[in-house]
Amino acid sequence: MVTLLLIDDDKDFTEFFVAAIEESGIKCQVLNQSKKILQYNLTGIDHIIIDLLMPDFDGLQILRFLKESRYSRYISVTSGQDQSILNAAREICQLHQLNFHSVLKKPFDLSCLDALIIDHVDGGIIIEKPKPLIKNDTELLEQLKLAISTQSLEVYFQPKVDMVSYEIQGFEALARWNLDGAFIPPTQFIPLAERSGLIGKLTEVIVEKSLRYFTQFKHLLAHPNLSINFSALELGQSNLPDLLISKIEQHNMASEQITLEITETVMLQKNTLSLEVLARLRLMGFKLSIDDFGAGYSSVNMLQNGPFTELKIDRAFISELDKSDQSRIIVNSVVQMAKKLNLNVVAEGIEEQTIVDELIKMNCLTGQGYLFSRPMPLQDVIIWLENRFTSK
Ligand code: C2E
Ligand code: MG
Ligand code: MG
């Protein structure tokens, strides 16, 4: 059974919350005195929901404590404060490399809990089996090396959809790691692979598997495009374009069908080699996408220098579109800028139709998100595509 922990000093609110959430079969523990978290046993807690404003020990101190305790399950924040504080808290979670789930702005009605409940009850993100006790990065690193050498990393696929015609524009391949029954999120193992120099080998496994799987369903697609994630660090490898060409040839794919989604998780020096690698990839026909635009270091600077064809607006802005004026202004400006630069724009992290409506008004027509489909393993992609086909 899934267990949540709600940390909030407002007793009326916690009673309301527990009653609502337990109706859906999710267990909920409560801490009204936030400082007690310091002694709390977090084993078996799948998701912690934290009020930001609390006497004694506030939500931000709790986030720091969870970082230090290496809490790796899901975290959401809630507050009646204005949206910019909630946004800052989310950013802090990401800086702490915590596994952020969502923002619950107070006051909220029961429908706000729906998305959270669906995630847990559908089993989409919560794994029932307990996570193995991995004490530190060194231990996880050993396991990751093994997972790479035995090619036990898996690949899931998530569609990019035209939000007006509902046509599928392509699929993004996402790495998945199941360690003894526990799901280790890519936000944890990708930075580890980057720090430890394993990222190149990891990418090789992912590229090989995604191409192999993709060839099993690309015949079902009008636009057989595959996007693969790359760390900007890998652009320092001068043989990357040749390696990719030989891989795609083995799988009878054309470079025009492949998009490299580049995320800059570390600030890169202005580097002629990475620019050269990007330019060669473009010359060879690959498409290049700036991923998570607006987050981390993926910035206007990258856009100015790199020969990109696509820009993906970070989920942090998209998920707030219907709630925050700041996000609406930022997304609208980014969409207009991208259009003027002739870039394909993709909105990531779409979970609600109201967000689709906002995006269409801004003329951003390609989207990706749980509303259309979660990332799926190969077998599910094929079933999903066949069902769409027969239901047309
Ligand atoms: P990304 O490339 O921006 O991928 C999108 C992430 O958002 C995925 O998380 C996806 O599962 C999640 N997502 C998609 N739609 C929704 C939605 O509607 N709501 C929410 N809450 N989330 C949504 P995931 O798979 O955990 O991956 C996280 C990041 O890890 C990726 O972000 C990417 O930067 C990195 N990553 C994943 N696979 C690889 C890989 O093979 N290589 C590299 N270098 N990085 C990877
Ligand atoms: Mg991506
Ligand atoms: Mg992204």
Asked whether the beta carbons of 197 and 231 are under 8 A apart, the reply is no
The string of DSSP letters for 224-266 reads --EEEEEEGGGGG-TTHHHHHHHHHHHTT--GGGEEEEEE--S
Asked whether the beta carbons of 16 and 86 are under 8 A apart, the reply is no
Tell me the C-alpha distance between 273 and 282, whole Å: 14
Report whether residue 229 contacts ligand 1, using a CB cutoff of 6 Å: yes
Token pair for 40: 């709390």
Protein residue whose Cα sits closest to atom 19 of ligand 1 = 349
The pLDDT, as a whole number, for residue 106 is: 83
* Predicted TM-score of the model (pTM): 0.73
Which amino acid is it at 356? Answer: V
Report whether residue 349 contacts ligand 1, using a CB cutoff of 6 Å: yes
The pLDDT, as a whole number, for residue 177 is: 95
Protein residue whose Cα sits closest to atom 22 of ligand 1 = 349
Report whether residue 205 contacts ligand 1, using a CB cutoff of 6 Å: no
Asked whether the beta carbons of 17 and 28 are under 8 A apart, the reply is yes
The pLDDT, as a whole number, for residue 109 is: 64
Pocket-testing residue among 94, 157, 174, 266, ligand 1, by greatest number of atoms within 8 A of Cβ = 174
Protein residue whose Cα sits closest to atom 23 of ligand 1 = 349
The string of DSSP letters for 113-168 reads HHHHHHHHHTTSS--SSPPP---SHHHHHHHHHHHHHTT--EEEEEEEEETTT--E
E strand or H helix at 111: helix 111-121
Of all ligands present, the nearest one to the C-alpha of 172 is 2
The pLDDT, as a whole number, for residue 288 is: 95
Entry field: residues in the chain: 392
Tell me the C-alpha distance between 48 and 63, whole Å: 10
Q: With CA atoms as reference, report the closest residue to 30 among 15, 46, 44, 52.
A: 15
CA torsion through residues 362, 366, 372, 375, sign: negative
Tell me the C-alpha distance between 322 and 317, whole Å: 10
Exposure string of 265-286, with b = 16+ CB inside 10 Å and e = fewer, is beeeeeeeebeebbebbbeeeb
Rounded-to-10 torsion of CA 124, 183, 205, 368: 30
In ligand 1, the atom with minimum distance to the C-alpha of 375 is 11
| Burial of 345: CB neighbours in 10 Å, binned 0-12, 13-18, 19+ | buried
The pLDDT, as a whole number, for residue 88 is: 85
Q: Ligand 1: distance of its center to the CA of 315 in Å?
A: 10
Measured CA distances, 382 to 152, 172, 216, 378, 389 (Å): 21, 15, 8, 6, 11
> Which pLDDT tens digits describe the chain residue by residue (392 residues)?
789 999 999 999 999 889 888 887 889 999 999 999 999 999 999 999 999 999 889 999 999 999 999 999 999 999 888 777 888 888 888 888 899 888 888 887 666 676 676 666 554 454 433 444 454 778 899 999 999 999 999 999 999 999 999 999 999 999 999 998 888 999 889 999 999 999 999 999 999 999 999 999 999 999 999 999 999 888 888 899 999 999 999 999 999 999 999 987 655 555 667 888 899 999 999 999 999 998 866 677 778 778 999 999 999 999 999 888 888 999 999 999 999 999 999 999 999 999 999 999 999 999 999 999 999 999 999 999 999 876 65
Report whether residue 369 contacts ligand 1, using a CB cutoff of 6 Å: yes
CA torsion through residues 298, 300, 304, 305, sign: negative
Question: Which residues are CB-contacts of 34 (< 8 A; sequence separation ≥ 6)?
Answer: 7, 9, 51, 54, 55, 56, 57, 58, 59, 62
Q: List 161's β-bridge partners, or say none.
A: 168, 367
Which amino acid is it at 272? Answer: T
The pLDDT, as a whole number, for residue 120 is: 64
Tell me the C-alpha distance between 259 and 170, whole Å: 10
Q: Ligand 1: distance of its center to the CA of 174 in Å?
A: 6
Integer-rounded Cα radius of gyration of the chain: 21
The pLDDT, as a whole number, for residue 23 is: 82
Token pair for 217: 């369903």
Protein residue whose Cα sits closest to atom 25 of ligand 1 = 174
Report whether residue 51 contacts ligand 1, using a CB cutoff of 6 Å: no
How many Å from the N-terminal Cα to the C-terminal Cα in the chain?
37
Q: With CA atoms as reference, report the closest residue to 262 among 221, 220, 240, 233.
A: 233
Tell me the C-alpha distance between 6 and 78, whole Å: 10
Of all ligands present, the nearest one to the C-alpha of 372 is 1
Report whether residue 193 contacts ligand 1, using a CB cutoff of 6 Å: no
